[in-house]
Amino acid sequence: MSIKEKTKRYISKKWGSNPKCPMCNTTSWTPQDKLFQLREYQGAGVILDNAPPIPFVVICCDHCGNSIMINAVKAEVVKK
Ligand SMILES: [Zn+2]
């Protein structure tokens, strides 16, 4: 199953089958078929190679572009 399909399944399970965008109230979302990551901020210009990233899936409202990030481990898209 693709990242996109796993994300769709999770959103449907947790947010319902037709969730509304909190910005524009439309109901058309597109999950990205990629993972993204965040790292803890350590200060301006500080880059730590050993800081573990947190993986996220991103869904984007097709109407206004509002994007929501969901922890990919919690969404069961990737294993810890
Ligand atoms: Zn929207």
Entry pTM: 0.83
Domains and their CATH numbers in the chain: 3-41+51-71 (2.20.25)
CA distance 21 to 30: 12
**What pLDDT, on a 0 to 100 scale, did the predictor assign at position 21?**
97
Q: How far is the CA of 80 from the centre of ligand 1 (A)?
A: 30
**What pLDDT, on a 0 to 100 scale, did the predictor assign at position 31?**
95
Say how many C-beta atoms besides its own lie within 10 A of residue 32's C-beta: 16
**What pLDDT, on a 0 to 100 scale, did the predictor assign at position 11?**
93
Q: How far is the CA of 1 from the centre of ligand 1 (A)?
A: 27
Q: How far is the CA of 40 from the centre of ligand 1 (A)?
A: 28
Q: How far is the CA of 37 from the centre of ligand 1 (A)?
A: 23
Give residue-wise pLDDT tens across range 8-60. 999 999 999 899 999 999 999 999 999 999 988 888 888 777 778 899 999 99
**What pLDDT, on a 0 to 100 scale, did the predictor assign at position 52?**
83
